[in-house]
Structure 1
Amino acid sequence: MSDGRDDRVGRERFRPPEHPNDHFLLTTVVGSYPKPAWLTDVRERHEADGTAVNDDEWSEALDDASRLIIGEHERAGLDVVCDGEMRREEMVEFFAERITGYEFKGPVKVWGHSYFDKPSVVSEVAYDDPWLLEEFEFSADVAQRPVKVPITGPYTLATWSFNEVYDDAAALAYALADLINEEIRHLVEAGARYIQIDEPALATTPDDYDVVGECLERIVAGLPDDVRLCLHVCYGDYGEIYPEINDYPIDEFDVELANGDYEQIDVFADGDFEPDLALGVVDAHTPDVEPVAEIEANIREGLHVVPPEKLTVSPDCGLKILPREAAYAKLENMARAARNVETDLDSGAIDAAALRAGRE
């Protein structure tokens, strides 16, 4: 596979003008964020019969929630923000509803009393109207900081759906990757420059790393060099897909390691890790808010793998299952910890080169 990383513009574009330190650890979110309780109430009343809350009122509620969460991300001190996916309920259903060729035939049981409205591909998938353009344009207009756009990846969309048309999941994934490329082209025309592809399905079927690689090649085809592409793979055994991910045409690889106390950090500490590392430094699965000092130690784990200019600081995964107060506190402490580590790097209190040399 080709590697376009060397020609892509780096993270300095995302450095805030008022940034206080010479070093810059990019801080961001993975995507989802707790929805305000009132938004859930409005949604239920809108979906009940469409009269208690009409379409225009529902649209206004979504705009208000997006505006609110973008503001929270900025107040927490993040360098790159998003709207917390206020307009999305589920990462596969949201896109399946917008892709021609998908159909919903009813929920399937996942575990216990949990159900997933698993979609079916009943005809060849096709691109009709943009999926995320209005969401991005609204967010970019509201935000004072750059906006990241998370997109569920084609491999996850394919393997977490029933396939009634294509020869196999790989063929469906390739077709979906072409559609995602078209969607990103619209986003780029509107000004988007930071795209995250979410592929949680890769963690459960790591032998298909080559399928995901081909999908990524299709996704980046023809995109400008200044588009930053991140691949997020949460949980799983990263040793099953590394070093193969070095061949992926990505700028950044986002991993979930705080939840596992960084037991897998050595997977990447061989000195050959190529993309930037987006490191989860707060646990998305617990409402316990990590102290700033603990998060600083977590950030230093990433400096064992990459130099500061290649380290992005983020939560492990989306934060939507947490209480909103806890999610905000985690982000605020995370941003503060990143700035503290930058100060220590500037002063020499942290020797990043020595940290990498000690782990390789």
Structure 2
Amino acid sequence: MSAPESAPREEGIDAAAARAAEVAARHADAVDREGQLPDQALQSLRAEGLLGLLVPRRFGGPELPLRDVVNVCRRLSEGCAATGLIFAMHQSQSAVAIAHAGDSDWHGGLLARMAAEQLLVASATTEGATSGGIRTSACFLDQQGDGLHLHKAGAVISYAPAADVFLVSARRAEDAAPSDQRLVAVLREQIALTPHTPWNPLGMRGARTDRYDLAVRCGAEQVYAEPFSVHMSQTMLPTSHLLLGAVWFGIAVAALGRARNFLRHRNRGGAPLNPIANLRLAEGETLLQQMHHSLAACMALYEHPGRATGTERLVAFNTLKVGASELVVRITDIALRICGIQGYMEPGDFYLSRHIRDAHSAAVMVNDDRILGSLSTVVLAGPLDRDL
């Protein structure tokens, strides 16, 4: 695959993101209806050079700050949440690949390819044997004479048919403890994926999240040096929650935007003013402000980690995810109440079926109860009062 003709920074990331978002929005209904990958949107992301935004300049990328990438994610999600979700997951995995490449020639070469070829990176960190938990593994890295082998059963992977690179977690060795994990970057040609029965999900249908058995044969140099727990705490947790928060925010903005357009259309048509609907629109805006302020606060914390302790950062990023997943459902419900039957029925300019179904994915993608369970001991031990 050839490199994009121009980097997004040269002509303006906003213009490139706007073009990709327009393509994503144009095909969003078909992607949702047919449960297919947003191929046209992915092609546009590649053509615009938006998949390699985080790659450092020394590897040929634009090295944009995460804040810019989060804003692109929000914009994509307003038009097509499935496209935004794929973009968010890809960029979170890219952040891991960048932050933990170290001085490895192989991983440095991968980063150069990610920028030049606009490779799409997917995660394969879950496993059937661990019931979806990613902090332990049953499978292990097996060094044999012809390379490193890995067999993983029941991994839940999104957009696998479109991915060029997979970051796969496993135990360090056969005799390693379940929590003694490493991450390995695997190229498409080095992995064999055997799909289980395809899922027919309620929402985020275009992300094509399915369960797979996978068999890997690759080189030992493709394993990241640090434990997977380091990747999780330092990079994956904060970036994924910020990016996913932007997805939920984008859904909420789009849904409330349709509700506002409905009221404006109704008013222009000469219908009597509906003060209750106007009140609900204002209520929705207050909740949008809450989402925005939570995202902005956590972004500042990401950019200035010294302002908080490690525990405070852990709580902040996890509560961002849980809070945003609850707020997006409330906002899409408010939008439906404003639009009434026109929001309930398809097709039409004001229907909200896709937004509502996509919003409900937020609480079950990295299940909120699992996150709250891990936070419970931290909250029990820590103070509740804090200065601004």
Higher relative contact order, chain-length normalized (CA < 8 Å, sep 6+): 1
Range class of TM-score, shorter chain: under 0.3
Q: Which has the higher helix share?
A: 2
TM-score (norm 1): 0.26
TM-score (norm 2): 0.24
Select the structure of larger CA radius of gyration: 2
